[in-house]
């Protein structure tokens, strides 16, 4: 067999280790997963009821255009229905956008430590990836503009950035957008939008009228707690959304996902509660990191990237043995781990395991 030559060396996406696998491998009864930035408070009870109510309809194909959901979301966001596209997670909007815009010979710009799915999809389409170093864990929009060439098709800005949790403020984003040439699409990934509390964070939907080359990505996987259902969306200029729609499969989101997302939008109280509980958890964890003398990047998300001052893969293994799954292995930051903010009990167990692991590592040195 002869696969497409450019896909041969593309790494398979490595998700956070599943809880059941770790339990089995290590013979542990209790395992805590703080590795995939899921919502530790689950999803709203009203959304779970909407899913149950949809069960009798499973023999029917979903509405391929997600018309009712789109109309509700458009109203919620204050945009037109033709400015929204749904995907099987925002992952799919990333791949569809790459499919619609990138071809061999094109260049695409992204940070050197950001969400890995941009790079893999760009490479699948044969585009050349230009990686611009993060500065202090934050996108360097000046350097990103400087990297734009005649061949640039897409610039990816993950805001807040995964894995660092940092954000670019509205004034910087606006001066960046003012300088991006019209032939370049800017994909602004706001997967953690609902967790942000910083006042300088961009209100990006308001910018869509000004910048026809802006595409915003959001998801129901994070604060809405619906990662299993795989539903996310893009918001942009109608012409951009149409292009992405042209390469979309006919039934890319399920009936259950659409029903759940509709109810999730109506239940903003759940979102507000989760945002404030996340802040309380963040304050506790940052206090503990300060106590332990561990530096971290300022985060506007439901995760924190913290410098353990040891090889992060060793810390990962030590934590795993104690039944706590976190993330490590970030090329640019080999001593940092990324931890999702959990429930108060999970955060306490995480800190206990981290302290023990750090002591063990120090003893080993
Ligand atoms: N963008 C970012 C920055 C993410 O962290 C994630 C999830 N890890 C996604 C997009 C994709 O999320 P989903 O496909 O579940 O919507």
Ligand 1 contact via 306 beta carbon (within 6 Å): no
Taking the centre of ligand 1 as the mean of its atom positions, its distance from the CA of residue 30, in whole angstroms, is: 26
The alpha carbon torsion through 338, 226, 138, 341 (nearest 10 deg) reads -40
Tell me the mean pLDDT in the region 102-107.
97
Confidence label for 13 from pLDDT (cuts 50, 70 and 90): confident
Ligand 1 contact via 221 beta carbon (within 6 Å): yes
Closest CA to 62 of 253, 305, 215: 253
What tens digit of pLDDT does each residue of 169-188 get?
A: 999 999 999 999 999 999 99
Cα(365)–Cα(362) distance, integer angstroms:
5
User: How large is the angle between the packed helices 19-26 and 312-321, nearest 10 degrees?
Assistant: 70
Tell me the mean pLDDT in the region 257-272.
98
Tell me the mean pLDDT in the region 277-296.
98
Closest CA to 232 of 249, 214, 252, 246: 252
What tens digit of pLDDT does each residue of 38-68 get?
A: 999 999 999 999 999 999 999 999 999 999 9
Mean pLDDT of the chain: 97
Inform me whether the pLDDT recorded for 365 exceeds 80: no
pLDDT of residue 16: 76
pLDDT of residue 276: 98
Percent above pLDDT 90 for the chain: 92
Q: Domains of the chain, with CATH numbers?
A: 5-42+269-364 (3.90.1150.10), 45-266 (3.40.640.10)
The alpha carbon torsion through 132, 134, 135, 138 (nearest 10 deg) reads 130
pLDDT of residue 164: 98
Q: Which atom of ligand 1 is nearest to the CA of 90?
A: 16
Residue identifier of the C-alpha nearest atom 7 of ligand 1: 191
Is residue 28 within 8 Å of residue 22, measured between CB atoms? yes
Residue identifier of the C-alpha nearest atom 5 of ligand 1: 162
Tell me the mean pLDDT in the region 254-264.
98
Q: Which atom of ligand 1 is nearest to the CA of 115?
A: 3
Beta strands across the sheet bearing 214-219? 84-87, 232-236, 214-219, 185-189, 152-158, 107-111, 128-132
Q: Which of 18-32, 126-140, 321-335 shows the lowest mean pLDDT across its residues?
A: 18-32
Q: Which atom of ligand 1 is nearest to the CA of 162?
A: 3
Taking the centre of ligand 1 as the mean of its atom positions, its distance from the CA of residue 226, in whole angstroms, is: 12
Strands 303-307 and 336-340, how do they pair? antiparallel
Count H helices and E strands in the chain, helices first: 12, 11
């Amino acid at each position: 067999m002869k696969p497409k030559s450019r896909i041969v060396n593309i790494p398979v996406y490595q998700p956070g280790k599943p809880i059941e696998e770790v339990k089995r491998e290590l013979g542990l009864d209790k395992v805590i997963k703080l590795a995939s930035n899921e919502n530790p408070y689950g999803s709203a009870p009203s959304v779970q009821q909407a899913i149950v109510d949809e069960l009798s309809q499973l023999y029917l194909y979903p509405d391929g255009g997600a018309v009712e959901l789109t109309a509700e979301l458009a109203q919620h966001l204050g945009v037109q229905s033709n400015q929204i596209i749904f995907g099987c997670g925002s992952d799919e909007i990333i791949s569809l956008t790459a499919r619609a815009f990138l071809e061999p010979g094109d260049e695409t710009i992204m940070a050197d430590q950001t969400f890995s799915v941009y790079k893999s999809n760009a490479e699948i389409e044969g585009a050349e990836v230009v990686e611009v170093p993060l500065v202090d864990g934050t996108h360097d929009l000046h350097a990103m503009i400087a990297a734009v060439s005649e061949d640039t098709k897409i610039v990816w800005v993950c805001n807040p950035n995964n894995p660092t949790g940092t954000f670019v403020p509205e004034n910087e984003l606006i001066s960046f957008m003012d300088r991006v040439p019209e032939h370049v699409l800017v994909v602004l990934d706001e997967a953690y939008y609902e967790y942000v509390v910083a006042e300088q964070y961009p209100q990006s939907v308001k910018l869509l009228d000004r910048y026809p080359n802006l595409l915003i990505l959001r998801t129901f996987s994070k604060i809405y707690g619906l990662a299993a259902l795989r539903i996310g969306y893009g918001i942009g200029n109608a012409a951009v959304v149409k292009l992405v729609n042209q390469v979309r499969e006919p039934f890319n989101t399920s009936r259950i996902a659409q029903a759940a997302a509709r109810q999730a939008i109506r239940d903003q109280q759940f979102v507000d509660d989760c945002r404030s509980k996340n802040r309380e958890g963040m304050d506790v964890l940052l206090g503990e990191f300060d106590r332990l003398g561990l530096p971290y990047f300022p985060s506007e998300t439901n995760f924190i990237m913290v410098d353990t001052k040891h090889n992060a893969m060793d810390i990962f293994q030590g934590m795993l043995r104690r039944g706590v799954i976190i993330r490590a292995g970030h090329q640019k930051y080999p001593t940092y781990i990324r931890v999702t903010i959990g429930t108060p009990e999970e955060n306490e167990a995480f800190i206990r395991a981290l302290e023990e692991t750090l002591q063990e590592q120090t003893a080993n040195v």
